[in-house]
Amino acid sequence: MIKFINKYSDQINGYLFVLPAFLIIGLFGIFPVFFGMYMSVHKWKIFKGRFLGFENYQKIVGDIGSFWIFILGLLVMIASYWVWSEFKNKFSKKIYCLFISFLLLILSLFLINISWADMMAKGDKDFLNSLIYIFYYSFFAITTEVGLGLLIAFALYQKLKGKQFFQMVLLFPYITPAVMGGAVFFIIFGKAENSILNEFIGYFGYDPQMWLFDKRKLSEVLFGIKMEGFFAGPSLALTTSIFYGVWSYTGYYAIILLAGLSIIPSDLYEAAKAEGASRWQTFTKITIPLLMPIIFFLLLTGFINSFQAFNHILVMKTSSAGETMDVVTIEIFDHFWDRVKFGYAAAEGVVLFIILNVLAISQYVIFRKRLNYD
């Protein structure tokens, strides 16, 4: 026994150091996921009820087979991009690779369309629509946050006076409690003609808007075109909550990206300058490629976190906006807390978990060839 301990003492010490973190992650991270799956197959109101099998899932998605066809459609769409990115330089003619990718894309759109239509006809429309709303929120918020954060970080990377002060100010929105920030935004984006934002846009000749109380689609607000369906975009009320997300997280992302900029060798910028490269060329050819691992990390984690957005949306939500601000977290909370349907809410969480994993895979496939860790 003593010989065994002496032989593997380094490995044992390593496992002992890892054990506390493993127990904490297992108890508060892994166990709740599997316990939620266990709850999802029961009728659970405060106390565990009878075993339901997939009845909760059947109510949510209408038809479980259609849900898996929908997931298959998403995976085929990912595969279409993967085929193009992986084999476009291996075919004698790129047109063949493009043709295969196009066929896969058409197939994926067909599978997604028929399966989604079937789920909407038979399933829980409120939950399914909430997935669309949270996708709007996540896509517009994360792309804007990371894009603005990158521009701000690049600006602060230059030789500016008081750079440390601006870095400190950038973190203020991130550390502001979501409930307090949401309440302030509720006042700023009020529907009264003399609200702060309506007064501001009035100076530029624009009519006052209802903001958080307006359930019109963004396409109608901007272009006067009444559209239905996915491409109509988020409501003006949901767009206002997206503004909050951008305000809250952009500075935080900028600080992380600024830290990434600091480890890029300055010799590269000096060599580019000597070759006559413009600042824009330096930004697109040096800065962005070398920051891509950090950008990918922020997009991935930010995308997952944005699907869990809850506090500020709950504070900013208004009855006048209808269901257009009922993102998936609000919908799950409604079943869990207001309707006391723990098992049903757990099943909704599992559906969201599956979709999130597929979307995370898609992000990896898109960015994997752009990641450079050397």
Burial status of residue 123 (CB atoms within 10 A of its CB: 0-12, 13-18, 19 or more):
buried
User: Tell me, what's the pLDDT at 16?
Assistant: 83
Tokens describing residue 197 = 């934002």
Cα distances (angstroms) measured from residue 149 to each of 124, 255, 307: 37, 8, 20
Distances (CA, A) of 162 to 139, 157, 165, 167, 169: 33, 12, 5, 9, 11
| Residues 6 or more apart in contact with residue 290 via CB below 8 angstroms | 260, 264, 268, 372
pTM, entire model: 0.87
**Sign of the four-CA dihedral 128, 136, 353, 24:** negative
Query: What average pLDDT does the segment 261-271 reach?
Result: 85
Give the pLDDT confidence score for residue 2 in this predicted structure. Answer: 62
Is 178 or 1 the better-scoring residue by pLDDT?
178
Q: What is the pLDDT of residues 228-243, one digit of tens each?
A: 777 888 999 999 999 9
- Say if CB 152 and CB 171 are below 8 A apart: no
Q: What is the pLDDT of residue 117?
A: 94
pLDDT above 60: residue 169: yes
User: Range with the lowest mean pLDDT among 27-41, 183-197, 324-338?
Assistant: 27-41
Report the pLDDT averaged over residues 6-33.
Answer: 80
351 contacts 58 by C-beta, under 8 angstroms: no
Mean pLDDT for all residues in the chain? 87
Instruction: Answer for the pair 319, 31: CB distance below 8 angstroms, yes or no.
Output: no
Residues 6+ apart with CB under 8 A from 312: 178, 179, 181, 182, 185, 241, 244, 245, 248
Residue 57 belongs to what H/E stretch? helix 55-61
Checking if the pLDDT of 373 tops 60, the result is no
pLDDT tens digit string along 142-153? 999 999 999 898
Q: Which of 316, 343, 340 is nearest to 327 (CA)?
A: 316
Print the SS3 string covering 62-77.
CCHHHHHHHHHHHHHH
Q: How does pLDDT run across 199-210, given as a tens digit for each residue?
A: 999 898 888 899
- DSSP annotation of 203: T
Would you list the domain boundaries of the chain? 65-121, 123-370
Check residue 282 and give its pLDDT: 85
Give the lowest-confidence range in 81-95, 113-127, 176-190, 282-296: 81-95
Query: Residue 194 corresponds to which tokens in the numbers above?
Result: 């003399």
Q: Which residue has better confidence, 324 or 166?
A: 324
- Please check whether residue 70 is in contact with residue 42, taking contact to mean a CB–CB distance below 8 angstroms: no
- The full DSSP string for 72-100 is HHHHHHHHHHHHHHHHTTTSSSHHHHHHH
| DSSP output for 258-269 | HHHHHTS-HHHH
Task: State the Cα–Cα distance between residues 15 and 82, nearest whole angstrom.
Answer: 38
Residue 75 has φ and ψ, to the nearest 5°, of -65, -40
- Give the CATH number of domain 123-370: 1.10.3720.10
Task: Identify the CA nearest to 313 among candidates 303, 323, 298.
Answer: 323
Distances (CA, A) of 117 to 6, 104, 112, 121, 227: 64, 20, 8, 6, 18
48 band by pLDDT with thresholds 50, 70 and 90: confident
Output the pLDDT for position 4: 59
